[in-house]
A and B are shown apart, each in its own frame.
Chain A
Amino acid sequence: QSVLTQPPSVSGAPGQRVTISCTGSSSNIGAGYDVHWYQQLPGTAPKLLIYGNINRPSGVPDRFSGSKSGTSASLAITGLQAEDEADYYCQSYDSSLSGWVFGGGTKLTVL
Chain B
Amino acid sequence: EVQLVESGGGLVQPGRSLRLSCAASGFTFNDYAMHWVRQAPGKGLEWVSGISWNSDSIDYADSVKGRFTISRDNAKNSLYLQMNSLRGEDTALYYCAADEDTALTGVSWFDPWGQGTLVTVSS
Contact = CB atoms under 8 A, between A and B. Distances in A.
Interface of A: 2, 33-34, 36, 38, 44-48, 51-52, 57, 89, 91, 93, 95, 97-105
Interface of B: 35, 37, 44-47, 50, 59-62, 95, 100, 106-116
Ranked 10 nearest A-B pairs via Cβ:
A93-B106, A36-B109, A100-B47, A48-B111, A105-B44, A102-B45, A45-B113, A51-B109, A104-B44, A45-B115
Contacts of A104: 44
B29 to A, nearest CB: 18
A102 B44 contact: yes
A91 B97 CA distance: 13
Contacts of B113: 45-47
Contacts of A51: 100, 108-109, 111
A34 B106 CA distance: 9
B50 A100 contact: yes
19 contacts: A33-B106, A34-B108, A34-B109, A38-B110, A44-B115, A45-B115, A47-B113, A48-B110, A48-B111, A51-B108, A91-B109, A93-B106, A98-B59, A99-B60, A100-B50, A100-B106, A101-B47, A103-B44, A105-B45
B41 to A, nearest CB: 12
A100 B35 contact: yes
B88 to A, nearest CB: 19
A89 B107 contact: no
Contacts of A44: 115
B59 A99 contact: yes
B82 to A, nearest CB: 19
A101 B44 CA distance: 11
Contacts of A48: 109-112
B109 A52 contact: yes
Given A48-B109, A91-B110, A93-B107, A102 B47 contact: yes
A1 B110 CA distance: 22
Contacts of B60: 99
Contacts of A38: 45, 110
A52 B100 CA distance: 11
Contact of B116 (A45, A89, A105): A45
